[in-house]
Every structure is written in structure tokens, then in C-alpha cells.
Structure 1
Amino acid sequence: MKFSSSLKFNAVPEWWDEYIAYDTLKKHIYQLEKQQAGLRDSYHDLEANERSSLMAGEDSSSTDAVFIPLLDRELRKICAFYEEKEKELLQDVASLERLVEQQEEAGPNARHEYLDVDDDDDDEEEEDDDDLPEQSPVATRDHTLSPSARRRRMRSVSSSKAPSGSRGKYDTIPRRRYSISSNEEHADLEASIASLRTPPHQDPADAGSESGRGEILSSPLTKAKQLASKLHIMTNSVTSSTGVPETVWTARNNYAWDVQLLFKRRITNLYVAVTALKSYVELNYSGFRKILKKYDKVTDSQLQARYMHEVVEQAPPFRRESKDRIQNAINTLVNLYTKCVTRGDFAAAQRQLKVHVREHIAWERDTVWRQMIGQARRGEAAEGLTVGGGSLVIEPEKATVNVRTRFGHVRVTLSQVYVLVAVAVFVVLLNVQVVEGVEANRCFAILVLATILWATEAIPLFVTSFLVPLLLVVLQVIRSADGTPLGPVEATQYVFSVMFSPTIMLLIGGFTIAAALSKTSIDRVLITRVLSLAGTRPSIVLLTFMAVACFASMWISNVAAPTLCFTLIQPILRTLPPKSTFAPCLILGIALAANIGGQSSPISSPQNLIAIGYMDEPLDWARWFAVALPVSATSILLIWALLLVSYHPTHTGDGEELEIKPIRPPREPFSFTQWWVSLVCLLTIALWCVAHAIQDIVGDMGVIAILPIVVFYSTGVLKKDDFEHYLWTVVFLAMGGIALGKGVMSSGLLNVMGGGITRVIQPLSPYSVVLALSFIVLIVSTFISHTIASVLLAPIAKEIGASLPGNQSDLLVFLTGLVCSCGMGMPVSGFPNQTAANQEDDMGQLYLTNVDFLKNGVPASIIATLVVATLGYLLMKLIGL
């Protein structure tokens, strides 16, 4: 979580204006960065809704002169608020200590001389509330309070709910149930205790009136109760067998019980307030440290260590003596809670107070920030479009159609329409003989159903994958080697055995390597070091970023790589002149290169692993690299040239030569953990490269994939949560694709299809088949998921290759896997394109449009496909395919 989000999530809403203005300071840093780059645009402070201009500086000293006063202003604000709150809370703690002492002196029977007939009923009610001390502090009973005390309590609660100050758009945030600190609560506590000592039928203002007292004591029944009360007092005054006298904190009468509840509430509230002040100091200290670290990184300054040591740590809130005072106040409150509530159990007091704090924070987050998020989502969802008098409602996430029937209006989503169509087609194909053979015809129906659901994404992709083995078994599609249909038991064992194949284990091993590289920041460190060598020429910077995006996609997947690269280019984008063509050129270049990187290694994308699974002799990494690396490098260079011609990013709009701000390498050296992770990853990759040479030992590359899993999780580099965050939907998608492919082959459908394909391609030369198949795969992968394209087309490529002279099935399957990554002509073609299409500038404007993808993505896709069909084809022949 970013610190700005963490600050909002953990801050006390009432104090929001008093925290460090982290976002505002960050905007000032970016403005200083622009001025260092020579830009003189005025800065629009979105939070203050005004424009300002910072002094331009040429070096770190001049930027320090601008930024330090901004920090000083925030520090003065924090110090003033802290000193006021600290004084207030420490006074409250001291007052509470005095009240506890006074109550101990009053004793446990201060009210018994006023008992009347109603106390019997109260005793019965008290017996039903034995668990009240374990409840929330707001559960204090008010039935024992006089009307005046109740009015004071209501005023105190009302004042605690009133906003104490807000920041602009947060004016409507609901406040906490009770004030984080309230000076009135001590007066309220004293009034409540006084009311407990007052006769139930007498107003506290008349407590000293002899006439009122005489009236109450004139009743014979009351006199009897008074006598019983005196006997009870005499009994309680005698020490127990242990020699410990009873106190108000250990007594069990009504009065002592209510006093304990009142003090529990006050101690708990004050404990929450003091711990909130402690958290306030820690959050602001982290805020100064984070913002100074960002400032040093962006402006190449060294202000953090000096300012933190000489200024921040010397300020009152961050001094050791201030922290000790707050901690002593917390300890005092724990001791008071131990005495007044838990009857001397210090551990229970600590535990209960911490529970109260957790419940308080959870309540705040639920009612404040979650409500804000919910309001924002509801606001976005309300931006629908109604057409034709309400018959069509278009929402951000899905389109709905109101269908009028005899039973009323039925709302149908577009996804539901796709599902209905798929099911209807499936039912028709099951009952119509389309292909020869019962099992083959049923498998064809399953294939069409899965294709429609995968292509339209009417239901989640992995759900369709789960549907495949279910239908294969229930419809008895699987046949044995002699052509006999297998029963449900045998078919189930077969389907599940092929679903979890070595290919799936290889995919999980790739996820493990990616998680380790990402968690230890090796990917970021290496990429940043390489980018720091790119210089300032736009063309070289563009090529470097494309090469880095391609390389990163080989190891951390083409899903995570573009996201990382888009984060790293933000300093460059912020310092570009307005309307610069370099920004869209760079973003699109990274997306296209990440797509190309998806073909560079077997674990860079699921379609590669699916292709390996369909090969009669799976390729080891060495032979894959021998083909994929030259193909990827050539494609990157040609696409780079295309982007330079299309965007002319080397000059500004005024015709001046553009100079890019260089990226600074990280200063931190490699840690032991990073070296350890790098060694294990390199060893695993080396074993994958020589898998064929050591297959008598390891059997398959999937077994080698277990190595990083065991090493990283056993040594603590990765945790259980990391394993749970794997892309398991992709794993099960691949498993469903493998099951479908095996079903197509086992049912005899592939043989039927092969006969028809052979008749079509028989007049063509082998290379013409390669070209035709390449462009068919390109078209399919442009409009649907690359993984789904490989699932559907790899079995077809295998059958086409088997019909060619010399059995070219492995070659065509390999080619299909590589070309699937070339489908990048649309914004929805692959995750890198989708991420690039959503990139926005500081004003919320998208960098790329659909025209950018059509004008550059389509030619880039054709170029990459031709490279695979020419250079890749030659290299495949050279390695013996």
C-alpha cells in the first residue's frame, strides 16, 4: 500500500487536517523536478484549488531552499497540535487518577444508606448483566442516572459526535461514536458517580435537604431496608478470610458495579485517545521520512539524513522525553484498568484494552473510509445510460436489457445472452450428427461450447475450464487406445491425470521465480541499473525501455513486467514538455515489447507452456532460446524503427531536440537475500536448459520446477501468503485447455478434422501452410486471449503438421505458440495493451487512443508474425524440428 493511502487509512478522521500534507508535498516535489528539467509551467495545487509557481533551481541547494520551508511549515503545524493534545490528555490522566483515589476513599457502600424497595428489582436486572464488563465501553447503563446527569451525558455524547475540523471533501465523513478526547467526560464521570450516591427518588440538587431525607426515611418499609443496609455494611467491613478488605473495585453490590462500569468506560476512552496520539506521532515521523526519501530520489539531493536528524528528531513530538511521557500515560491507564476492572489481572487489562483499540479502529475504518469508497463506487455506477425509455441500461461493468414477457420485465445481461447462445448451440450439436463418430461428435459440441464461452468471457475463463472435464466424463467422450469408450471411473482417472501435467508444474515454478524476484526487488534493481545507462537521447531511451520490458517479461511474466515499467517511467513522463509525442510512443513501445517478451522463454506466458505440452518431444530451454531470442530481438528492433517513424519522438512540438532526464541507479548494494535468490534462479534456469541431458535423473522439466519452490519457501524468502497470491486462475485455465486437447485427440475428433485439413492443404507447399497458419493464429489471438488462442489452435496445428511430409507437428505447434504472443493490434489484445491503454497523465487524460493501436499495433503485429514465419522458421529447421 502506498504511504498516502496508508496515511488516510490509519489517521484519526477528526485530526485529518493536522497530519503531514503528504500528497501536497509530493506535488511540490514533482514541480521541482520539472523546474530542474527546464520546464517553467505553473503548478496547479488541486487540493487548494489554486495555481502557484515555485522558484526554478539549477541544483539541489536551490531546490532545498524551496522545499525546506514547506517541511518547516508542516512541522510547526504538527508540533502545535501535538503539544495541545498532549497537555490535554496528560491532564485527563492525572484527573482520572485523582477520581480513582477519591472513589477508593468513599468505599464500596456509599449508596447503601439510600436503598429502597426498587433495589430488589435492580438486583435482578444486575444478575442478567454479569457479562457487561466484557462489552464495549459504550454499553454503560443509564437507568441509574438522575435526569440532570442524563442531560449532561447526552450533551457530552453530542459534542463528541460533532466534527472537530475537516479537510474539504471530507466534511461529510461520519465521526467516531465518541470523541477521541473530551474534557467534559471527567465532569460527566463525577456527575454520574454523584447520581449513584443520590436517593433514587431525589434530585441531586436536593441531596442535602433534610426535609427530603426525612420524607424518605419516614416510611416504615424504608426504615427496615435501612436497617438491613447497615447490617450489610457492618458485614462488609469485616476483613475476609484472606485478610484483604473489600473495595469498590471488588464489591458485588449495585453501586460498586455501576462505578466499575463508569470507570471502565472512561479509562477505555482515554486509553484509545492516548494510543491515537502515539500513532499520530509515528505516522507523521514516517511521513517526513518517506517524503524526504522521495525528494532525494527525484531531485538527486541528500536532504533526508540531515533534516531528519537535525530538525524532525529535535521537534517536541519526536523527542525521547515526549515518547516517554506518552508511554507512561499508557502504563498508568493500564494500571488503573487493572485496579478498577480486572481486579489485579494486569495481563487481562492489557489484552482487553488492546481489543478495545482494535474494535475502535475497525469501526472507524468501516464507517469512514469504506463508506467513502462505497459512495465513490455508487457514484460511478450511477453514471449509466438509458436508451429508448428505459429498455436499455448501459452500466460501466455490464450492459443489461429489459425484456418484456408475459410474466413481467426480465433484466438480461449480455453475458447471460452469450451463455444462452452457447448452451443452445451445444444442445443442437449434441443432437445433430456433424462429424463422424458418436464420441467425436460429442467432443465437437464440447469444443464449440468452450470456444464460445472462452471467446466471449461470458463466465470466468477458469470456470469454463472446470466445465471441460465434467462434460468429457459425463458424456463419455474419452476412448481407450483401441477405440473403446471408457467408463466414468476410468475416464475420470485419465482426465485428472493429464490435467496436472509436468507443464502445469513448470508454470507454478515460473510463478515462484517471479514472486521471489519481485518480493526481493531484484527485478526493480536490475531494471533500474540498466535504464540508468540509457542516456538522454529519446531514441536510445525508447529502445532501452523496450528491451528491458521484453527481458522482464521473460522472467516475471508479461503481466507484471509492463506494470513495473510503467511505474519506472513516471519520472520521465512528468518532466516531458506538454503535448510531447514521446510519452505515447514510450508507453506503446513498452506494451508491444512486453507482448514480444511473452514468446521469449517457456515460462513467460501460458501459451508457451501449452505449446510445449502438445509437442511429441518437448523442447528444452536451450533450443527454445536458440529460436525465441533472435526472433524477439529482431521484432523489437523493427517495431522500434516503426515507432520512430510514426511518432518522431526525438523533437518537441517547437522543433527543438528533446532531452530525456536520466534515471538514477539505486544506491543500495545487493543484500545477501538478493544474491541467494539470484543464485537459485540462475541454477534452476541452467537445469532447464540442459533438461534433456539430465532427463535420466530428473525425468522432466516439471520436476526441476520444484527446486525453487522448496528452496524459497523452506528458507523463508517466500511465505504462505505469496503462494496463495499466485495466478491460480491461469493455472486452471491451462489445465482445462490440456484436458480439452486430450479429449479432442482421444475421442477421434482430431483424426476427423485432420482428414478435412489434409484435403485443404494438400495443394499447398509446406511453407505456404506455415504462412497461412501464422496469419490465422494472428487474427484469432488479436481478438481473444492469447492463452485461449493457443488452447484452441495448438491441437489443430499439431494435426496439420502431422499431415505434412516429414511430420512437422512439433514445428507448427512451436510456431503457433510464438505467433500467439504477436496478437497486439487492439487495446484488448493481451494484458500489456490493456495496461497501456489505461495510462493517464496528471490531468487525467489518456496517453493512448484506439488510433494509436490501429496505426502502430496492427503493423507491429504483422511485422512480428512475419519474423516468426521467416527467421523463426529457419531457426526451427536448424535445431532439428
Structure 2
Amino acid sequence: MKFSSALKFNAVSEWWEEYIDYDTLKKYIYQLEKQQQGLSSSYQDLESNERTSLVGRPDDAATDSIFIPLLDKELKKITLFYENQEKELFEELEELEALVQKQDEIGLEGDHYVDDGEYDDEDDESISRSPVGQRRRRLSSAFTHSRNTSIPGGTSAPETSARPHRYSISSSEGDMEDSIASLKWPIRKVANTLRGMRDSVTMRESVTSSALLETVWTARTNYAYDTRLLFKRRITTLYITFTSLRSYVEVNHSGFRKILKKYDKVTYSELKDHYLHDVVEQSLPFTSTAKDKLNSAVDRLVELYMKCVTQGNRNLAKQQLKLHQRENIAWERDTVWRQMIGRERRGEGAASRSLGASLVKEPEPGLFAIPTPLGRVPVTRKVLFLITALIVFAVLLSVRVVDGEEANRCFAVLIFCTILWATEAIPLFVTSILVPLLLVCLRVVRNPDTEQRLSAQDATKFIFSAMFSPTIMLLIGGFTISSALSKTSIDRVLITRVLSLAGTKPSVVLLAFMCVSCFASMWISNVAAPTLCFTLIRPILRTLPPKTSFAPALILGIALAANIGGQSSPISSPQNLIALQNMDDPLDWGTWFAVAIPVSALSILLIWGLLLASYRPSRSPDGEGDIEIRPIRATKEPFTRQQYWVSFVCIATIALWCIAHSIEDYVGDMGVIAIIPVLAFFATGILKKDDFEQFAWTIVFLAMGGIALGKGVTSSGLLEIMGEIIRDLVDGFSLYNVVLILSPIVLVISTFISHTIASVLLVPIAKEVASSLGGNHQNLLIFVTALICSAGMGMPVSGFPNQTAATQEDDLGELYLSNVDFLKNGVPASIFATLVVATVGYSIMFAIG
């Protein structure tokens, strides 16, 4: 990656103007190079693809005298900015340490809540005019409170028991500042009390010495919980700012080193070593003393966090602070789509996840070790699964299980891939890529006309031509729409406007979020939709009372609704595309919506009722009142021309998909229509090459492998053999009885393995079952199978939305959901959704033919 691109990615957006102006300095270097060589007055910069004009032509000795003042100007700008930031941050750190020390004197036992009325305006104004107070206002959106009463710092009388508790919850980032302003930050009282002792607080390490940290906060009262939470937020925000400042120094030092290296290389000078060591590294931000001071401040914050939050566990304190730092970077610099791809690349996606694990993903421990001449080799669970799959594969290849050599080999491939997909011994997409290799090398593919085995060359052409089908192009078109909606923030704008109408009742807000999650899953996939929704509910979760039942109900409701949303449109999940691929006469979007939308809507209502009965989310934790949620504020910014263009293209594409059968003489297939958004967004610059590279290509290859395996099963003759067995099993059963038998089988399998893999394995079986029944019921059974694959959501591992929900934590690092939550609510929800498909869905399918 070029340094200019790396600078944009690593820079803090608010400080962008204060970084080294690398691009401008690079242009000056090319100008000096041209002047040195006496080139024409117009020079093409191949790296930046820009042309520059020059005036004058200095000799070689003059280049340093021109370039050094430019470097000095940048260095002065960086130094002044760093001095101001350093002074302000250390003042806040001193105050924070003093507050912690004062809190130790007050203690965490009992109830020290302070009423708002104890603060006078004069005190508030004096603090707000201070540098720390001004900084606090800028950071105030990071701090919210779970009670209308204030938190530590006084000795006011407790609330009377006659007055019921009433909780006020901020539901959006914009509401946080209003909420904080009304709450009169309780820390101000302590700060005012400590005004006289601030002069005695110095920058020395003695403030965070053993005298301050000799005890840790372990009390578990409501007051102690709120106090720890408040200090956690202050420490975390200050930690993020200090580490950002440290990164600012490192990035700028790297910038000077890179630009000086480029200067020496282009102009044949030897300025780098002299200027870097004698000038840059002697300036304040880059001296060893300044760096040690920053590192010391970060260590002091870790010590404070260890004392206030993690009860003396230093390693856990470091892990949690680093996690908050990463989340801040993701929130500030990425779209939701990029966040989702980042999770997949870090191994936290649907293909690889350790649920309920620690904050930092640890490698899988070995079950035992095998001694070898090169050392002891640990054997993990995945290695055992892989070895088992290989042994089964070898046995099936050597034993005749079904008639026909090609069919027997294809059966071995099918079982081998099924074991790998079910156990995830290797990543799912790697297994999919393995499918065409096995089909070609084992000579499984036959000519459909002559039933003669194809040569390796012909089999390769046949398999690869089938893998990149119109269905795959439809999937890529769906990714393009998803990325465009996310990048232009249309998804966030529309969702916040819908949620602004939800009101303040928790039950209504829960239903609103479930509907939004389901609807978002239709268009930005049920992989990206929960990521977006969990981002939107962070302000609510941060301000909920401790141990409220609304938080787990909301998180689980979003996850279950996202699974249901996977049924709702052909592009909302890969299993729907697998179903379309296997239909001889694929359904158009209008027919799909006619069945899926009523089924999804009824399922959402049933699951909503289940969550209300299970959690009673409206009740406060102490049972003395109802929680109240402020309405989310809809954005007031008007749609831009770019957003209108994206909306028009998306609506037009979806409309064409809905009438695809009517215009198939002109467009051929829905996959051709999927090219429209690709052209419209990438050709106009709305999406860039980086966006294309960040598509979920693992999902694409997963679907391609499933298609290839389906072709192998069909062409090898294995499907015909399976068909004969299935005919005997379903002989005498009516169509509806077959649906009732097939539904629980599909539900159980899709609950424990990937929904996509379940569809890869079960859709061909449903297709063969339909052909065994006679009549034109193929599309119906395939459709039922695909919809029920999305209904498998009874376990934490059942689909990406559940896996994401299971990792959600509160501010103190505790998981909102446990396995019991999924078993108690996810299993009944799965059964409800399956029954809706098998009854209402079946009736609609049968009615529309």
C-alpha cells in the first residue's frame, strides 16, 4: 500500500489537517527532479497521475535549500499541534486520577447519588470554561447514564420509596448530548470539591502509585456499578485519545522518513539521515522523552482501568481497552459493509467463530500432542475432523456403495465435503473450491446425452461453466446494491427515519427494530443487516439500567428477525440463490415476494409475541416502574444527488427482477439484469475498486462450490440412484404429507450447520422428491426447503445473525445472551417459523400455482 493511502486510513479524521502534507511534498520532489534534469515545463507524475508546471531552474546544490524550508514548515505545524494536545490531555488525566483518589475516600458502599439541584450555574460555568471542561463537551457523546439521578460525588438524601423509578434512555447519538446536559454530569461536583487540591496533583507517576492502586473496586451495589461504569467511560475515551496521539506521532515520523527517502532517491541527495536524526527526532513529538511520557500516560490509564473496572486483572484491562480502541477505529472510518468484511477476514464471520469466548480470540487448544523428530505437534479438534473426513473418503472410494463407478465416486465426494462443511475442519469456501478439483480428477462427470465419462479437459469446461452461472451474477449484483446503500448511508438514513416513528414504549421499539432488521436483510443481506442494526442500538444499550431484560430481548429480536429476513428476497441469502439455481423454471421476484413477505411478516409477529412473553422488556429491573425510551431522531439532512441516483438504480433493478419472466426474451435471465447496478455504481465512481475487492467473495465461492457439487451429483448418475430410493420412501404419501415430513428434517440440519450448506445438501434432495411424486411440484418443494433453511435459528451457531448476537457485550464486558436464551427463545421461534412456512406458505404457493 502506498504511504499516502496508508496515511488516509490511519489518520484521525478530526486531525486530518494537522498531519504531514505528504502528497504536496511529493509533488515538490517531482518538480525539483524536473528542474534538475532540465525537462520541459510540463511533467507527467506517473505515480500521482498529475501534471505540474515549474518556474525557474535551480542547480543541483539548490534543491536542499528549497526543500528543507518546506519540511521545516510541516514540522512546526506538527509540533505546535502536539504541544496543545499534550497539555490538554495531561490536564484531564491529572483530574481523572484525582477523582479516582477522591472516590476512594468517599467509598463505593451504600448510596451516594446526588440530586441535580445541588449544582449551581456558577460552578458549571467555571468548569465548562476550563480547557478540561471544553474537551469534556467535545467528548460528551461518549458518556451516557442509565438513571435520571446523578452518579457519584455527593451525599444527597436517597429517593423515597413512594416515588416509582422512571428510566430515561437515549436512543441515538444525537440524543446523548441532550441527555447529558439535562443530567448535570455528577462528576462536576467532585471536580469542584477538588479544585483546591489540583495544585498538589503533579505529572509524576506518584499519582498512580501503589498508594492509589493499593485497593481495587469490588463492591457490587447499584451505586458501585454506576460508578465503575462512569469511570470506565472516562478512562476508555481518554485512553483512545492518548493512543490516537501516539499513533499521530508514529504516522508523522513515518511520513518524514518516507518523504525524505523519496527525496534522496529522486534528486540523488543525502538529506535523509541528517534531517531525520538531527532535526525531526530532536523536535518535541519525536524525542524519546516525549514518547516515554505518552507511554507512561497510557500505562497510568491501564492501571486506573484495572482498579476501577477489572478488579485488579491487568491483562483483562489491556484487552478491553485495546478492543475499545479497535471498535472506535471501525466506527469512525468504515462503513457497515466494511465492518462486516473485516469480521470475516479476522475469522469472526460465519465460517469461523468461537462463541462466548474471551475478548481476544485465542487459538484452539490442542487435545494432545504427537512427538516427531521436529518436535511435538499439537492435534486439535479440527485436525481430528479432517483426518476422519480423509479416512471416510478413502474408504468410500475403495468400497462399492452405489452402482456405477462415477456415481460411487461422486457419493464419496459428497460425503467428504459434507463432513468438512459440517465440522468446518477447513474454511467453508476452501471446501467449495476443492469440489471442482475432486470432480475433475476423479472423472466423475458424464456426458448427459451419451452417459459416457468426459475427459478431464471437457469435464473442466463443463464444471467451470456451470459454476459461474447467472445465479452467481445475481449474488454479485446483490453485493453491489448492498455496498452502494451502505457507502451512501441510505440504509442508515431510511432506518433511522423509520425508527423515529417507533415511540417510547419498549414493546413497540422492539417490534420496530425487528421489522427494520428483517427489511434490511432483504436488501443488504442477512449478513450485513445485523451488523448495521447492532451499531444503531449501541446508544440504547449503553444507557439501559443494569440487568434490564430489554437489552437481551432487543439483541435476540434483531438476530431472529434477520434470519427471517433471509427468506424475504432472492438476494437476501445464498440459500435462496441455490434454490433458484436448482429450479428448472426459476421464480421471478414478484412470485417470490407474494409468498415470502406474508410468511416473514407472520413469523416476525409470532416471534415478537414470544419475546414479550419471555422477557417482559417494559419492566424495570427493580420492578418499580417501566423503562421509557426516547424516540430516535431522524436525520434532517436532505437526500443528495448521489443518494437519489443510488435509490433510482436500486428500485429500477428490483422492478426489472420482479418482471424478469415477462422480459426474458430481451434480457435472458435475472443475472443479466444484475449487471445494471454494477455498471451504474462503478462507472460513475460511487463505488471504487476497493469496494469491489471487499465484496464477500468467500460467500461467492461457497455458492459456486455448491453449484458445482450439484452438477456433479446430477451428471454422475448419483441423483438417479437417490431418486429410486426416495420414490420408495415417499410412495403413497400426498404432497402435503411430504412437506410435513421434509420440514423438520430441513429445520434440524439447518440449525446445526450453515444455512447455505444446508441448502446445498437438501435442495437437490427436495428436487428429486418432487420428481418422485409426479406432477409439477418441483418449485414448491425447493421453495419450502429454502425458506425453512433460513428458519433454523435455535442455536448460537445457527447462522451469522445468531453468531453476531451471541458476541454482544455490555459496558463491563459481560455477554448479554447465553446459550439458555437461544434454547428458550430460538428453538420455539424456529418451530413457529417452520410451521408458518409449512402451512401459510404452502397454501399461498399452492394457490398461485
Q: What's the CA shift for 1:424? A: 1.1
Within a 5 Å distance, the mapping from 1:273-672 to structure 2 comes to 396-405=362-371, 407=373, 409-481=376-448, 482-653=450-621, 654-672=623-641
Q: What's the CA shift for 1:772? A: 1.6
Question: Helix, strand or coil for the counterpart of 1:409?
Answer: strand
Within a 5 Å distance, the mapping from 1:47-86 to structure 2 comes to none
* Contact 2:599 2:841 survives alignment (8 Å): yes
* Contact 1:507 1:603 survives alignment (8 Å): yes
Per-residue deviation, residues 10-66 of structure 1 (Å, max 9, x unmatched): 89998674466799848973687437x62434499xxxxxxxxxxx99988756899
Name the CA distance, whole Å, in 1 between partners of 2:188 and 2:684: 44
Name the CA distance, whole Å, in 2 between partners of 1:690 and 1:598: 21
Within a 5 Å distance, the mapping from 1:793-804 to structure 2 comes to 793-804=762-773
Alignment match of 1:832 (pick from 782, 792, 801): 801
Question: Helix, strand or coil for the counterpart of 1:399?
Answer: coil
Name the CA distance, whole Å, in 1 between partners of 2:718 and 2:757: 19
* Contact 2:153 2:190 survives alignment (8 Å): no
Question: Helix, strand or coil for the counterpart of 1:726?
Answer: coil
Q: What's the CA shift for 1:5? A: 9.6
Q: Could you tell me which residue of structure 1 aligns to residue 145 of structure 2? A: 34
Name the CA distance, whole Å, in 1 between partners of 2:433 and 2:759: 18
Alignment match of 2:270 (pick from 128, 133, 141): 133
Q: Could you tell me which residue of structure 1 aligns to residue 695 of structure 2? A: 726
Question: 1:163 aligned to 2:292?
Answer: yes
Q: What amino acid is the match of 2:763?
A: A
* Contact 1:14 1:164 survives alignment (8 Å): no
When residues 159 and 58 of structure 1 are mapped into structure 2, their CA distance, relative to the original with a 3 A threshold, is closer
Question: Helix, strand or coil for the counterpart of 2:633?
Answer: coil
Q: What's the CA shift for 1:781? A: 0.8
Q: What amino acid is the match of 2:428?
A: L
* Contact 2:485 2:491 survives alignment (8 Å): yes
Q: What's the CA shift for 1:568? A: 1.1
Q: What's the CA shift for 1:642? A: 0.3
Per-residue deviation, residues 778-833 of structure 1 (Å, max 9, x unmatched): 11111111111111111111111111131422111111111111111111111111
Q: What amino acid is the match of 2:615?
A: Y
Name the CA distance, whole Å, in 1 between partners of 2:420 and 2:691: 30
Q: Could you tell me which residue of structure 2 aligns to residue 116 of structure 1? A: none
When residues 631 and 19 of structure 1 are mapped into structure 2, their CA distance, relative to the original with a 3 A threshold, is farther
Name the CA distance, whole Å, in 2 between partners of 1:615 and 1:759: 23
Q: What's the CA shift for 1:7? A: 7.2
Per-residue deviation, residues 640-691 of structure 1 (Å, max 9, x unmatched): 0000000011211324122112111112111111111001100000000000
Name the CA distance, whole Å, in 1 between partners of 2:185 and 2:821: 42
Question: 1:841 aligned to 2:807?
Answer: no
Name the CA distance, whole Å, in 1 between partners of 2:397 and 2:599: 43
Name the CA distance, whole Å, in 2 between partners of 1:501 and 1:870: 33
Q: What amino acid is the match of 1:699?
A: G
Name the CA distance, whole Å, in 2 between partners of 1:801 and 1:762: 12
Name the CA distance, whole Å, in 2 between partners of 1:705 and 1:636: 29
Name the CA distance, whole Å, in 1 between partners of 2:619 and 2:527: 31
When residues 492 and 162 of structure 1 are mapped into structure 2, their CA distance, relative to the original with a 3 A threshold, is closer
When residues 41 and 771 of structure 1 are mapped into structure 2, their CA distance, relative to the original with a 3 A threshold, is farther
* Contact 2:526 2:572 survives alignment (8 Å): yes
Name the CA distance, whole Å, in 1 between partners of 2:177 and 2:700: 53
Name the CA distance, whole Å, in 1 between partners of 2:177 and 2:290: 47
When residues 467 and 171 of structure 1 are mapped into structure 2, their CA distance, relative to the original with a 3 A threshold, is same
* Contact 1:561 1:594 survives alignment (8 Å): yes
Alignment match of 2:725 (pick from 748, 756, 773): 756
Q: What's the CA shift for 1:161? A: 7.5
Within a 5 Å distance, the mapping from 1:256-275 to structure 2 comes to none
Q: Number of residues paired by the alignment?
A: 592
Q: What amino acid is the match of 1:761?
A: V
Q: Which runs of 5+ in 1 are unaligned?
A: 45-55, 79-129, 142-152, 174-289, 295-372, 374-380, 386-393
Alignment match of 2:653 (pick from 684, 694, 698): 684
Q: What amino acid is the match of 1:470?
A: L
Larger relative contact order (Cα-Cα within 8 Å, sequence gap ≥ 6): 2
Alignment match of 1:809 (pick from 755, 778, 782): 778
* Contact 1:528 1:663 survives alignment (8 Å): yes
Name the CA distance, whole Å, in 2 between partners of 1:70 and 1:508: 57
Name the CA distance, whole Å, in 2 between partners of 1:730 and 1:450: 16
Name the CA distance, whole Å, in 1 between partners of 2:274 and 2:728: 83
Q: What amino acid is the match of 2:389?
A: A
Per-residue deviation, residues 55-109 of structure 1 (Å, max 9, x unmatched): x999887568999999999xxx99xxxxxxxxxxxxxxxxxxxxxxxxxxxxxxx
* Contact 2:620 2:627 survives alignment (8 Å): yes
Q: Could you tell me which residue of structure 1 aligns to residue 716 of structure 2? A: 747
Question: Helix, strand or coil for the counterpart of 2:412?
Answer: helix
Name the CA distance, whole Å, in 1 between partners of 2:11 and 2:300: 22
Question: Helix, strand or coil for the counterpart of 2:369?
Answer: strand
Q: What amino acid is the match of 1:630?
A: P
CA RMSD of aligned residues (A): 4.1
* Contact 1:31 1:43 survives alignment (8 Å): no
When residues 659 and 63 of structure 1 are mapped into structure 2, their CA distance, relative to the original with a 3 A threshold, is closer
* Contact 2:582 2:764 survives alignment (8 Å): yes
Question: Helix, strand or coil for the counterpart of 1:411?
Answer: strand
* Contact 1:17 1:166 survives alignment (8 Å): no
Alignment match of 2:662 (pick from 690, 693, 696): 693
Name the CA distance, whole Å, in 1 between partners of 2:686 and 2:288: 51
Name the CA distance, whole Å, in 2 between partners of 1:773 and 1:579: 41
Name the CA distance, whole Å, in 1 between partners of 2:656 and 2:542: 43
Q: What amino acid is the match of 1:845?
A: E
Alignment match of 1:859 (pick from 801, 805, 828): 828
TM-score (norm. length: structure 2): 0.64
Q: What's the CA shift for 1:757? A: 1.4
Q: What amino acid is the match of 1:399?
A: P
Name the CA distance, whole Å, in 2 between partners of 1:857 and 1:573: 21
Q: Which runs of 5+ in 2 are unaligned?
A: 1-8, 20-77, 97-134, 155-175, 196-202, 204-237, 239-266, 303-327, 333-345, 347-353
Q: What amino acid is the match of 1:745?
A: T
When residues 824 and 6 of structure 1 are mapped into structure 2, their CA distance, relative to the original with a 3 A threshold, is farther
Name the CA distance, whole Å, in 1 between partners of 2:14 and 2:620: 38
Name the CA distance, whole Å, in 1 between partners of 2:393 and 2:288: 66
Give the greater-gyration-radius structure (CA). 1
Q: What's the CA shift for 1:432? A: 0.2
When residues 162 and 792 of structure 1 are mapped into structure 2, their CA distance, relative to the original with a 3 A threshold, is closer
* Contact 2:522 2:566 survives alignment (8 Å): yes
* Contact 2:794 2:825 survives alignment (8 Å): yes
